Amino acid sequence: MTRLRRLGQSDLATVPLILGGNVFGWTTDEATSFAVLDAFVAGGGSVIDTADVYSAWIPGNKGGESETVIGAWLRRRKRRDDVVITSKVGMWPIGDGKGLEPAHIAKAVEGSLQRLGTDYLDLYLAHQDDATQDQGAVAEAFGALVSAGKVRVLGASNFGAERLDGAIRAQHDLGVARYQVLQNEYNLMTRSGYEGPVQDYCVAHHIGMTPWFSLACGYLTGKYRTAEDVKGPRAYRVGRFVEGHGPRVLAALDAVSAAHGASLAQVALAWLAAQPGITAPIASATSVGQVEDLLGSIHLTLTPEELAALDVASRI
């Protein structure tokens, strides 16, 4: 259980980096995905994040593509016992079921397990809050998965502090497994989804935060410095960063990067890892080279002055 407990803040040890699987079956084909996964594990990585909805937004896809690719890799490489697999439910409807309806949760987990080719998930998260559902009923549905051995640790994603507190209170009152992990957007460009009440709550209640879009859809790698650079499948998300305080953030990253001989991505991830309540950032890669670069952040420690400079530059 040590490896699983490291996903929360109940243990001082941390997982250094989580590999995002949203690109598998989207911008990376199976062969490339396998190479990325192989490189991640070879470099010391162990936690792989996915969701049932990845990547239903692509024409011709139905959802579950990422889980299917990861499942094929697990089967062919026989790696299930030495990796941590996390998935999510709540954004992808199945028939008439949707959101965090208890029946939908029960059905969705079976689909994820089948696609991943495993009989348990190390971590299963509510992908987004669902205010239409009674939090007690949701708590019972997730708790039943843990009791049945289908899920080992529970988490939540895209929750505000008040609703997260309500969910955990319901879990406590019912005596069922509680959320130990949170997955909200958080990076040097977008800080409001975590800092403030959510961060305070996570730190106070020992909930490990594993931020998504840790590199702001690639903007923090430095590849989108001008409006002309804004191209590709995530261009619509990064266009807003090119103006405003984006160039200021990149300038601060450039300075710290030069001082350490590190990439901008490594510096951005190191800044995240140093923030209170962070268990590990999530970052995706579409090539072996990108994986190796991301893993380099594990060994990078920023000085208090560098952390402060990045903090100032990234505040709107």
Sorted by where each begins, the domain ranges of the chain are: 2-218+276-300
Mean pLDDT for all residues in the chain: 93
User: Is the pLDDT score of 163 beyond 70?
Assistant: yes
| CA–CA separation, 311 and 186 (whole Å) | 13
The helix or strand, by DSSP H or E, that contains position 48, with its residue range, turns out to be strand 47-49
- Given this model, what pLDDT does residue 15 score? 66
Both structure tokens of 42: 């070879």
- Residue 3 CB coordination number (10 Å): 16
The reported pTM is 0.94
DSSP letters of 212-240?
Answer: BSTTGGGGGGT---SGGG--STTHHHHHH
Q: Which residue has the tokens 């949203």?
A: 22
Q: Is 71 left (phi over 0), alpha (psi -120 to 50) or beta?
A: alpha
Alpha-carbon distance of 299 to 197, in angstroms, equals: 30
Q: What is the tens place of the pLDDT at every residue in 242-288?
A: 888 999 999 999 999 999 999 999 999 999 999 999 999 999 999 99
How far apart (Å, rounded) are the C-alpha atoms in residues 285 and 288? Answer: 8
The CATH number given to 2-218+276-300 is 3.20.20.100
